[in-house]
Structure 1
């Protein structure tokens, strides 16, 4: 019942989208910030 409601209603689909989006952000932000920190270190060494 809960799975049917999650994937068949508008607010259920939006909830799934938000969860997937937040999981993607939790992977992308650390990668992005780590890359920027390495670029800053390279700039400071030169």
Structure 2
């Protein structure tokens, strides 16, 4: 059985990796969000 088929057939693997992808996506979003806010604040300050 291929890894791709196993990924979609086993709900534990599917939900684990889906949850992990959501958490990593949120971390990346907030890192970029706060970095852009910091840059904007520094420009406004000068």
TM bracket, shorter-chain basis: 0.5 to 0.7
In structure 1, runs of 5+ residues without a counterpart are none
What displacement does 1:10 show?
5.5
Note the alpha carbon deviations across 1:4-45, whole angstroms, 9 max, x for none.
4x6336665443322110010121111110100000011111
RMSD: 2.1
| Bigger relative contact order (CA 8 A; separation at least 6) | 1
TM-score by length of 2: 0.59
